[in-house]
Structure 1
Amino acid sequence: MLARYYLEGIHMMTTAKNDAKTPVDLFDQTLPRTWPIHGLMLVMVLFVASSFPVGKLIAGKLPSDVMMLIRFSMAALLFAPYIFIKHGLHIPTVRSLCRYALLSLPLVTFFWCMFEALKYTTALNTGALFTTVPLMTAVFSTIINKERTRILKSTGLLCGAVGAIWIVFKGDFSALLSLDFNIGDSIFLVGALVFSLYNPLIKRMHDGEPTEVMTFWVILFGAGWLLLLSLPELVYVEWGKVDAMVYGGLLYLAVFTTLLSFFLTQYGIVKLGATKVASYSFLNPLFVLVLTILMGSVSFSLSIAPGILLVIFAMFLIQIE
């Protein structure tokens, strides 16, 4: 009983405070409720960042649409038992199926563009171009979801883009200016533009169903679109000559950068909003750098430290806005 009165007293004192709150006050109040979700977003970024070196490793071993078909089909098959056991064997309504089919199109387009682009360009170039996704997402969120982009968020988006590019080019902006924009970069930029629609569309089209159900049907429809796209090439693939490394890479992409990352992204968007989730894309170059350092491919350089600080500062501004 005493504990009850104590808690009620705490509640009365906190509700009696002045309603005017600073951004830091708001951050302190919302962080305890949302920090687990932000932690999951960091895991999602790690999965997405790992897709670039893995994608570069197996790019060109099979046609892009065939590789993506295998990737999405693996993810759907692995996820199906969980969905059917937990939610039962039933088909969503026609309206829901149309929503899932539409949501799958930006994903299919982006990943096809990524694999196709990596045939002609480098992971460095794609990493630099991927930093445009949060900015374009903010624009589409304003148009589709009427999200307002205030000064803090705008400043954060700008700082994040500069910081991410700084990390990619290690502070050497002469290398950025001399960047050779080739056909692969053009393909990837189109994919990034379409992908920027994905987060706002999830926020707009989510109809209260469990996130894992939406994830499963979006992936399944993605596999369906890719089957139609790859039908002319499937008969010419010599499956026996495909390197086992390709199947291993596709299995990794199916589980971690398709199934789990899609689920985490959609869950985060519903809870945090499209722009905040998209802003985590600024961390991709940093995570790619960490992965390559751990793999022994590169060593850490102090020249990228300003970029890391800018990205962290940008994330702070966008999350408290």
Structure 2
Amino acid sequence: MQTLIKDSIQAESENDLPMSESKTTDSNFYVHALMVLVIVLVATSFPIGEAITHGLPPDVMMMLRFFSAALLFAPYVFFKHGFALPPIKSLLGYSFLSIPLVTCFWTMFEALRYTSAVNTGAIYTIVPAITAVFAFLFNKEKVSVRRSIGLVLGTVGALWIVFRGDVQALLGLELNYGDLIFMFGVTCMSFYSSMIKRVYKGEPMVVMTFWVILTGGLWLLMLSASTLSSIEWTAVEPSVYAGVLYLAIFTTLATFFLIQFGTVKLGPTKVAAYGFLNPIFVLIMTAVIGTNAFEWSYVPGVLLVLLAMRFIQTDKGVKT
């Protein structure tokens, strides 16, 4: 993991210029590898989030998560790029970009109080399709026939894995209050993904990542300020703090940087399409730890997802 992140940081220097002037490469294989890493990390956030969601109010938990990530990231950013506020226009852009991001992660914790990880996993599969719509509306990213087929196949395949090929279970899925909350959250995530390239102006990616995380923490501080004094911090279980720290490092700091880096390189739809792999990695993890046995009924869904990734990632359509 350290090697992959190091490679991405080194590649960041190519992004110090606008996209039209940055150095291009014949292959973005390492970027795709980093996106797979992102999905592995994201896949771990659902069971961890479900385990700790009742330990603290969702807004407080998210505030700790964002500020912890910003605090850990600050020394590197300031040492490499100096301690200076971004231009007002950029700072407003980062603040704007952090709003849908904060909203998405808040809805995940809030939704898991009323619904199951299975339902949230099913809803999360629609992120690539919604991202494609936003990318078309805001970035004029054209959705070719090939990419459209890939989005449909990926959605069907991911849902097949979530529901183990049981069509009746899928048709019988009743959206509850928690599901509706998370539906709004994944819409916000799709909007965030499509807006990254609009906000990015060629600055070092680590700088953009840091300020998006920090401004997100400030939004959450304002949201949770009224409840902070009523929390018995010493009564919170250590496992909750450990879970928040894990989420801060691996599914906030690392994934935010890598998603922004990948979106600039590949485009929002191709990056979002890796979300189709999320149920596969959840399946692998649960099979390894023994909480879920592998069944042959999963295979058609896995094959559909892999075929969808082939369609989308080899599409030569315009990225911007």
TM-score, normalized by length of structure 1? 0.90
Match of 1:206 in 2: 200
> 1:186 aligned to 2:173?
no
Q: CA deviation at 1:32?
A: 5.8
> 1:119 aligned to 2:116?
no
SS at match of 1:268: helix
How do 1:146-161 and structure 2 match up within 5 A?
146-161=140-155
Report Cα offsets for 1:77-106 as digits up to 9, x if no partner.
000000000001111000010010011001
Give distance in 1, aligned partners of 2:285 and 2:113. 22
> 1:308 aligned to 2:292?
no
Distance 1:114-1:58 versus aligned 2 partners, 3 A rule:
same
Give distance in 2, aligned partners of 1:290 and 1:251. 24
> Does the CA contact (< 8 Å) of 2:115 and 2:176 recur in 1?
yes
> Does the CA contact (< 8 Å) of 2:125 and 2:158 recur in 1?
yes
> Does the CA contact (< 8 Å) of 2:90 and 2:199 recur in 1?
no
Q: Percent identity?
A: 54
Q: CA deviation at 1:31?
A: 9.7
> Does the CA contact (< 8 Å) of 2:68 and 2:248 recur in 1?
yes
Give distance in 2, aligned partners of 1:219 and 1:184. 25
Match of 1:225 in 2: 219
Give distance in 2, aligned partners of 1:31 and 1:75. 31
Q: CA deviation at 1:131?
A: 0.6
- AA matched with 1:247: Y
Q: How many residues align?
A: 292
Distance 1:32-1:313 versus aligned 2 partners, 3 A rule:
farther
Give distance in 2, aligned partners of 1:292 and 1:203. 35
Match of 1:65 in 2: 59
4+ runs of 1 displaced by more than 4 Å? none
Give distance in 2, aligned partners of 1:162 and 1:269. 24
Q: Which has the larger radius of gyration?
A: 1
> Does the CA contact (< 8 Å) of 2:66 and 2:252 recur in 1?
yes
RMSD: 1.1
- AA matched with 2:286: T
Match of 2:265 in 1: 271
Report Cα offsets for 1:23-64 as digits up to 9, x if no partner.
xxxxxxx99611110000000001111100000000111100
TM-score, normalized by length of structure 2? 0.90
Q: CA deviation at 1:293?
A: 1.1
How do 1:162-177 and structure 2 match up within 5 A?
162-177=156-171
Q: Runs of 5+ in structure 1 lacking a partner?
A: 1-29
Match of 1:138 in 2: 132
Q: CA deviation at 1:180?
A: 2.2
> 1:96 aligned to 2:97?
no
- AA matched with 2:133: V
- AA matched with 1:268: G
SS at match of 1:196: helix
Q: Runs of 5+ in structure 2 lacking a partner?
A: 1-23, 316-320
Give distance in 2, aligned partners of 1:162 and 1:188. 19
Match of 1:244 in 2: 238
Match of 1:27 in 2: none
Distance 1:32-1:303 versus aligned 2 partners, 3 A rule:
farther
> 1:79 aligned to 2:107?
no
Give distance in 2, aligned partners of 1:37 and 1:62. 35
